[in-house]
Amino acid sequence: MAAIVSHSKTRQHILRAALRHFANSGYAAASVQQIVDDARVSKPALYYHFKDKAGLFQALVSEAHDKEFELLCGAAARSKTIRGQLVEILAVLFDYFRENRELMRIALATMFASPGELPKKLRYLDRCERNFEFIHTLMKRALQNGELDGRFGSREMAFGFYGQANVHLMAHLVTPTCRLDRRTANRIVGLFLAGAARKRNAGSPGKF
Amino acid sequence: MAAIVSHSKTRQHILRAALRHFANSGYAAASVQQIVDDARVSKPALYYHFKDKAGLFQALVSEAHDKEFELLCGAAARSKTIRGQLVEILAVLFDYFRENRELMRIALATMFASPGELPKKLRYLDRCERNFEFIHTLMKRALQNGELDGRFGSREMAFGFYGQANVHLMAHLVTPTCRLDRRTANRIVGLFLAGAARKRNAGSPGKF
DNA sequence: GATACTACCTACCGTTCGGTAAGTTAATGG
DNA sequence: CCATTAACTTACCGAACGGTAGGTAGTATC
């Protein structure tokens, strides 16, 4: 896993242990003592590399959101149609999720955290917004292209899709419902684009 | 607010204060001391009425999910078509949400909590599942009626809808995006049923 | 060979945590 | 009039919390 970049070995151990504990217990319930025990380092070693508990968390949060943004960009570039882009996005998120579920958990948890749940000095809202706005941009473009239904707003569609993607990920953290793979990605995008209602003319049903 | 039922006045104060703190800070970060200070009671008074911190939380969690279930049932009964039922469900959830956002926050937070985030003895997964299964049942019925597209499974549609409903609620906790009212409910259901893709024959566009 | 810096260490700080022991007050029942 | 119970109270517990003071081994520099 090349996800955690760090110059020091100790710093790396700390980050990896912190990732485990924050992902598993949330910010408040994860204790610094547990983290340093798990990382087999002393507490001052942690406070040498990170300003405080919040700073340690911040490092992981930034990495999680930046990684997601990177994945979104890469995936969207791989297709020209909105359908292809959305499938690519879901597929790559699912792939990454399967092997880095702890980092993803942190990204999701910070996205939907209560105001008092995390230290106020933490900066992550701008990163959340950036990731959402990326999807939003795709939708706007597809709307102009005529790929999407003009009766809906780009914002509500971006919201519907990004929201649904996140729900699938979050739900999978709680109870693995179905395999999060490319096939599932295809079906989700299919449902999103075609809608759940029965079609009046079953002329060209397409495949999902 | 008749949400919190209790026989003792003190118990009521405690529950109300606990609701505020748990909703605002999450389980771990909310301290018993803050709660009793806020409720203007002593700590042993709290431990007289509730077994422990987890028991206090449990009372709120149960109430939150039970209330949601009640809302779902009432809303679904108000219409015969799946479209009508889904709109009613969203509308009633939105209504309730606007006036009881703290209780809703707890329901959502427990739904997507990490394993180590909450005490293990807490019982809530069965209640989550019950609420989801209610939506699932509606979808199954609508599928048999031919109201929904047979190419999709009832489970994935229930998931898509319930998930999207929850995302709208959660997102609204973080940043109020749009008015959560009946009009919004209509648009969300519209998007869910019709799909985002442009329709080939714009014969009867419907209104959302 | 003194100085300075990195990368830690042991030991400990004050605070807050969830929770309790034991006593008090007011009402109720025999 | 006494016993019991409900509904608390003050005072306190040990453990865990996040964080730090002060010292040190190793390396690099002048």
pLDDT band at A207 (very low <50, low <70, confident <90, very high): very low
- The C-alpha atoms of residue B19 and residue B30 are separated, in whole angstroms, by 10
Is residue B153 within 8 A of residue B90, CB to CB? The reply is: no
Of A155, A164, A195, nearest to B194 by CB-CB distance is A195
Of B109, B163, B195, the CB nearest to A164: B163
Nucleotide nearest to A47 (CA to C1'): D19
DSSP state letters, A125-137: HHHHHHHHHHHHH
**Candidate from A78-92, A115-129, A167-181 with smallest mean pLDDT:** A167-181
Strand partners, B197: A148
pLDDT tens figures, A95-119: 999 999 999 999 999 999 999 999 9
pLDDT in tens, A136-151: 999 999 999 999 999 9
Q: How confident is the model at residue A70 (pLDDT cuts 50, 70, 90)?
A: very high
Say whether pLDDT at A2 is over 50.
no
Chain B residues closer than 8 Å to A170 by CB: 112
Which residue is listed with tokens 């003009």? A150
User: Considering the entire predicted model, what is its pTM?
Assistant: 0.90
Distance of alpha carbon A111 from alpha carbon A92, whole angstroms = 19
CB contact under 8 A, B29 and A187: no
Which pLDDT value is given to residue A23? Answer: 97
Share of chain A above pLDDT 70, in %: 93
Strand C bases contacted by the protein (CB, 7 Å): 7-12, 16-22
Q: Which residue type, as a one-letter code, is found at position B135?
A: I
What pLDDT is stored for residue A201 in this prediction? 59
Nearest residue to B90 via CA among B176, B5, B2, B191: B191
Query: Which of B83, B112, B128 is the best substitution to test chain A (most A C-beta atoms within 10 A)?
Result: B112
Residue A42: pLDDT band with limits 50, 70, 90? very high
Task: pLDDT band for A3, please (50, 70, 90 cuts).
Answer: very low
The residue whose two tokens read 């790396």 is A12
Return positions of chain D under 7 A from a protein CB.
7-12, 16-22
Q: For residues B87 and B185, what is the distance between their CA atoms, to the nearest angstrom? A: 6
Tell me the mean pLDDT per 10 residues along chain B, length 208.
60 96 97 97 96 97 95 97 97 95 95 93 93 97 95 92 91 87 94 86 47
Task: Report CA(B135)–C1'(D21) in Å, whole number.
Answer: 59
Judge if the beta carbon of A8 is closer than 7 A to nucleic acid strand C: yes
CA distance A5 to A10: 12
Report the residue of chain B nearest A204, measured CA to CA. B200
Q: Which residue is nearest to nucleotide D6 (CA to C1')?
A: B48
On whether the CB atoms of residues A140 and A154 are closer than 8 A, the answer is: yes
Query: Dihedral of CA A29/B53/B168/A98: which sign?
Result: positive
